[in-house]
Amino acid sequence: MDRPRAFQELFLQAASFRRASPSRSKQVFWALQDVDLDVKAGEAVGFVGPNGAGKSTLLKLASSILFPTSGKVYVRGRVAALLELGAGFHPDLTGRENIFLNSSIMGMGRAEVLRKLDAIVAFSELEGFIDLPVKHYSSGMYVRLAFSTLIHINPDLLLVDEVLAVGDAAFQKKCLDRIERLQQSGCTIVLVSHNLDSVRNACQRAVWLDQGRVKADGRTEDVVKQYIWHVYQKAAQLPTEQQDQRWGTRRVEIEKVCLLNGDGQQLQAFASGEPFAVEIHFRAASPVERPVFGLAIHRNDGLHITGPNTRFGGLEIPRAEGRGIVRYHVPALALLEGTYLVSTSCHDQQDTEMYDYHDQLYPFYVLPVARERYGMVTLNGEWSWAPQP
C-alpha cells in the first residue's frame, strides 16, 4: 500500500478502507503512464490536452508535491510553482506577511525579501490591499500575489498551471511577458493551459497529453495543430449525449459541418486573407417551411465575434425537405491568428422554435501572418508614405 503523504490523505484512506468490501478488487487508475520526457535548462514547454489528461499531475510530480508510484523524476535548481489557487497562503495573514512566508519557504532570506518587497507589490498591483488578510482577497488577487512573489525569487524552473487563467486579460498578458523575459534570462518554463494561444505565445515546444500518455511532442505550432484537429474530429461526430452543447426539436437536423478552404478542402487551420467557407449539411424528415440557418464564431476565450444567418443575408429558403447543404462563403478571412470555435443553428422564421443548435462544437485555428500580429481582425488596409512637400 502506498504511504500516505498527509494527515487528510491518511484519514480518507482509512475511511475508504472501512467502506470497502473485502471481496471487491481495487481498481487502479494511472494518471500518467509510460511518460519519458526531458526538459532542458532554458526551455519553455507547454502541456496541452483535455481535462484528466495528467497535465496537473505531471507538474505536481515535478514540484515534489506528489511522488511517482514507479519511475524517477529528476529536477535541478530552485523550483517555483503556481499550481493551485491559494496554495501556500495563510488566510489570516496579510498579503505582505504572506510574501515573507512564501519567500522564506522558497529559500529567500529576510534581507533579500525586504530588498524585493516593493517590486513584488508593484508587480501585483495590490498596493491598496497588501496589508489586508488574504482571506478577503478575490481569486484574481490571489493569483496576482502568488505569481508576483514567485517570479521575484529568481527560480531556475517555473511551473505554472491553469490557475493563471483566473487573472484578468491585462494581468495575463503582463504575466506572459514576464515569463518570456524569465525564459530569455535562462529560466526553464513549464506551462499547463487550455488557452492554446498562451502556449503558442510563451512556449517554443509543446507536449500533448491524453489519458496519461504522450500523444505528441515537438514544435509548438505542429503539436497545437495536431491537438486542434483531434478536437475537431471528436466534435464533428456530434455525440447526442452532449445535451449541454446541442439542443433543439430536431425537426431539421444538422448532420455534419465542414470548414473548407478555397479549394474545397476540409481543414482545421486557415490563413488570414484566404477564402473560408462553412458548410452545414442538414436533413428534414418532413417538410419545414422557411427555415433559417445561422452560425456564430467565438474566440476560444468565449468572445462572440460574429453571428450571420440566412435571413439577415437575404437568402430565402422556401422549404427544407430531405437532405440539403447550406453554405456560408467568406472571400477573404479577416480573422488574425488564434483559436476559434464555430456554432451552427437552424430555427424557424420567427425565431421561436430552435430545430437544432450546435454550440461551439467546431474549432479551427488561424495561422499567423507576417504583416499583422495584434488584435482579432485585419482591416486589409495598405500603408503609404510621402515626404512633406
* Single residue among 178, 207, 228 that ends a domain in this structure: 228
Q: Which of 190, 197, 209 is nearest to 169 (CA)?
A: 197
Tell how far CA 172 is from the center of its chain. Answer: 13
The per-residue pLDDT for 108 is 79
Decide if pLDDT at 244 tops 70: no
In this structure, are 152 and 300 located in the same domain?
Answer: no
Long-range residue pairs from 27-30, CB within 8 A, at least 24 positions apart, any chain: 30/212
The per-residue pLDDT for 326 is 97
Question: pLDDT category, 140, cuts 50, 70, 90?
Answer: confident
Neighbouring C-beta atoms of residue 26, cutoff 10 Å: 7
| Residue 381 falls inside a structural domain | no
| Residue 155 falls inside a structural domain | yes
In this structure, are 104 and 45 located in the same domain?
Answer: yes
Decide if pLDDT at 112 tops 60: yes
Which tens digit of pLDDT belongs to each residue from 161-177?
876 666 677 777 788 78
Q: Which three cell numbers stand for residue 143?
A: 493569483
DSSP string of 216-245, one letter each residue = EEEEHHHHHHHHHHHHHHHHHT--TT-TTT
In this structure, are 266 and 128 located in the same domain?
Answer: no
Number of domains in the chain: 2
| Residue 14 falls inside a structural domain | no
* Pairwise pLDDT comparison (197 vs 182), residue with the higher score: 182
Q: Residue for cell digits 430555427?
A: 347
In this structure, are 187 and 92 located in the same domain?
Answer: yes
Q: Which three cell numbers stand for residue 206?
A: 509543446
| Residue 386 falls inside a structural domain | no
| Residue 13 falls inside a structural domain | no
Decide if pLDDT at 358 tops 80: yes
In this structure, are 65 and 171 located in the same domain?
Answer: yes
In this structure, are 137 and 255 located in the same domain?
Answer: no
Question: pLDDT category, 323, cuts 50, 70, 90?
Answer: very high
Q: 303 phi and psi, to 5 degrees?
A: -65, 125
Q: Lowest mean pLDDT of 127-136, 192-201, 237-246, name the range.
A: 237-246
| Residue 65 falls inside a structural domain | yes
Mean pLDDT of 361-377: 81
Give the span between the Cα atoms of 91 and 50, in whole angstroms: 31
Measured at the alpha carbon of residue 194, what is the angle toward residues 189 and 197, in degrees to the nearest 5? 70
| Residue 51 falls inside a structural domain | yes
Handedness of CA 225, 230, 233, 239 (dihedral sign): negative
In this structure, are 142 and 250 located in the same domain?
Answer: no
Task: Give the residue numbers spanning the domain of 326.
Answer: 237-367
In this structure, are 272 and 202 located in the same domain?
Answer: no
In this structure, are 215 and 101 located in the same domain?
Answer: yes
Q: Angle, nearest 10°, between helix axes 139-151 and 110-124?
A: 130
DSSP string of 127-160, one letter each residue = TTTTTSBGGG--HHHHHHHHHHHHHTT--SEEEE
Neighbouring C-beta atoms of residue 123, cutoff 10 Å: 20
Which tens digit of pLDDT belongs to each residue from 272-283?
889 999 999 999
CATH number of the domain enclosing 320: 2.70.50.60
In this structure, are 113 and 219 located in the same domain?
Answer: yes
CATH number of the domain enclosing 145: 3.40.50.300
In this structure, are 255 and 209 located in the same domain?
Answer: no
| Residue 376 falls inside a structural domain | no
Question: pLDDT category, 202, cuts 50, 70, 90?
Answer: confident
In this structure, are 203 and 279 located in the same domain?
Answer: no
Mean pLDDT of 50-75: 86
